[in-house]
Structure 1
Amino acid sequence: MTTFILVCLCGGLGAVARFILDTSIQRWWSRAFPFSTLVITAVGTFCVGLAAAAFMNHAVDTRTYLLFVIGFFGGFSTFSTAVNQMTSLVRSHRQWSALAYLAITVLAALACLALGWWMGSLNR
């Protein structure tokens, strides 16, 4: 039960961190392209890659992995927000921007996950 509560709390902290980063980027980036969500997705998937490599290399235990990956980064980086922003681009008749955003989001997420995994596996 303690792990469940801690995962929930970490998820809340991740959501707050996401809100702060999203708001900060949006103040700087005032264009229609949803750059803040792309940055958050990239940072989140990179960190999940690091955490997954640390877990697979037995550098962290299961509970720590759950707190960070399921909890914090589950609240921090949500693919549903990216999908919602793609939908908003389509509704505003920016289909090519939506398609580009989809491709960049998926490719960046995979690249950042792989980079995080690789960096997390260097000391092994």
Structure 2
Amino acid sequence: MMWMICLFGGLGAMARYVLDVSIQRGWNRENRRTNRNFPLSTLVINGVASLCAGIAMMSYYSQSVDMDTVMMFVVGFLGGFSTFSTALNEVVSLIRQRRFTLALGYGIATVAVPLICVAAGFGIALLANPA
């Protein structure tokens, strides 16, 4: 079981890299003229991971999925996919650039968006499998 969690963690990290690069390319292309440097990709990735975690956990609670599957997906894949440490590093980077308002907003969003996404994931799972 442990090796499966590790394998899924590696797959999650690879998925994060691909999504991160894709979002950054698109975001940077759109904002090249305005010189806005907002770390959108990490916020999106953590939101998606939280949404998926909410769905997975509620699916487990409703007994649609077994614990081993949840562990491989949530701890393994989503653990490798999400990146709270990068989000905190980006807040510090914005502070070092003296972009205090953006740092504060991003810091709040870094906490609020995943919480909202987990709740949305719970709701989606409940709609899909009413008990």
Mark yes or no: TM-score above 0.5.
Answer: yes
Matched, 1:120 2:120: no
Give the Å deviation of 1:43: 0.5
Partner of 2:7: 9
Give, in angstroms, the shift of residue 95 of structure 1: 1.3
Are 1:74 and 2:79 matched, yes or no?
yes
The aligned residue for residue 56 of structure 2 is: 51
Secondary structure of residue in 2 paired with 1:29: helix
TM-fit CA distance, 1:115 = 0.3
Q: Percent identity?
A: 49
Q: Which amino acid aligns with 1:112?
A: C
Query: What SS is found at the alignment partner of 2:75?
Result: helix
TM-score (norm 2): 0.90
Q: 1:34 aligns to what?
A: 39
Q: Give the unaligned 5+ runs of structure 2.
A: 29-35
Question: Structure 1, residues 42-84: CA drift from partner, whole Å, max 9, x if none?
Answer: 1010000000000111111110000000000000012111001
How many residue pairs end up in the alignment?
Answer: 122
11-20 vs 85-94, which deviates more?
85-94
In the superposition, the TM-score normalised over structure 1's length comes to 0.95
Q: Distance in 2 between matches of 1:102 and 1:66?
A: 28
> Larger C-alpha radius of gyration, 1 or 2?
2
Separation (CA, whole Å) in 2 of partners of 1:28 and 1:42: 18
